[in-house]
Chain A
């Protein structure tokens, strides 16, 4: 991945690319950001797996903050520095919490268990969505990914999936209902 990809983006374009989940930009950030975080965590009592988990958690926070306007990246180094700072804080929090209480190691989290957490907690709700998203079936998974994550139009989605635009629209509604139902069933069981 060319490092100078960022030189071709203005601040506004970079923010927009992240908001639009531009694959090339997101992957470039990942490749630039991970080695420094990995080095830090390995030097501070962490493992390879923990470095990956902490970095990915940090990446989600970083992406959320950019989309909500909490952080506006001026350039590549500000962006990677911000990501590193989030990851570093998360790792230090993890070390502190490990000292004060027994916690489930990061690598032992299992998304196949329905998250039995406080339902009013937004983060917990996102975990439930993540769980349901993995259970929703191939077509719905692809449709929802294309429409909401890749920001494809219904016309693009319908072409990719071999449907009419109307079918794609109907299926989007059905898939969202299905996602809701899986979440609600999980809440009843837990």
Chain B
């Protein structure tokens, strides 16, 4: 495959149309006559066919890595489970602190409730092990660094290619939440709360519920916080029910 012949833009278009089956019978006959008699032209056709195939393979490999990232989120690694224990312990502490806080405060606004219960998701462990998932992993680094605009820039493009990804919807939703774009955040998190089998289902409900709290829509928040099924859910729901009266 060395010594490839140079190709003009006209021949390139002709070959593209030939390979796509877009030529009429007269043009096909002309191309096939050239294939029989012009060695350079034959090499060009073969080369373009290979390049088209190679591009598709390369793009598919990148896509497979994105698919795999989604699967990895459903299969937490062992050390992630340890982190979960810490998260549960932290949640219990938060629960107690929230109780003390509520006992010592008089009247609280929806913003105060939100601030008490809102903590940024710690993000995922990213490995950057392959080129294909680089953009996602790089976005995760931005997310963890608090560079939410950067994360959004990277992940928005990935989401356009992979709109059903619960991972992207979830973390983009959280990034927009951090950027105070609540409408966008609600829309993205809502995509995840509609899929019960998602690994992020409960967390998405939690954050969507907190947005509703922030907006003062306690009635909408309660079922979401209930579906979030967190340690803090019961306490928070009872607070909202009292506030709502």
Contact = CB atoms under 8 A, between A and B. Distances in A.
Contact of B54 (A31, A56, A129, A169): A129
Given A1-B164, A27-B67, A56-B68, A176 B51 contact: yes
A157 to B, nearest CB: 13
| Range of interface residues on A (Cβ < 8 Å) | 35 or more
B198 to A, nearest CB: 10
Nearest to A187: B2
B9 A149 contact: no
Given A23-B161, A31-B71, A119-B1, A149 B64 contact: no
A125 interface: yes
A119 B60 contact: no
Interface string A57-81: 0011001100000000000000000
A122 interface: yes
Interface string B51-67: 11111111111011101
B226 interface: no
Interface in A31-51: 31, 34, 49
B85 interface: no
B245 interface: no
Interface in A128-187: 128-130, 133-134, 144-145, 148-150, 169-170, 173, 176-177, 179-180, 184, 187
Contacts of B33: none
Contacts of A34: 68, 71
A101 interface: no
A24 interface: yes
| Range of interface residues on B (Cβ < 8 Å) | 20 to 34
B64 A30 contact: yes
B54 A133 contact: yes
Contact of B51 (A111, A149, A170, A180): A180
B70 interface: yes
30 contacts: A21-B56, A21-B60, A21-B63, A26-B60, A27-B67, A27-B164, A31-B67, A31-B70, A34-B68, A49-B129, A56-B65, A60-B60, A60-B64, A122-B50, A125-B1, A125-B50, A126-B53, A129-B54, A133-B59, A144-B55, A144-B59, A145-B55, A149-B56, A149-B59, A149-B63, A150-B161, A169-B13, A173-B9, A173-B12, A179-B51
Given A31-B70, A64-B57, 11 more contacts: A23-B162, A31-B67, A52-B68, A59-B64, A60-B61, A119-B2, A126-B54, A129-B58, A133-B55, A180-B4, A187-B2
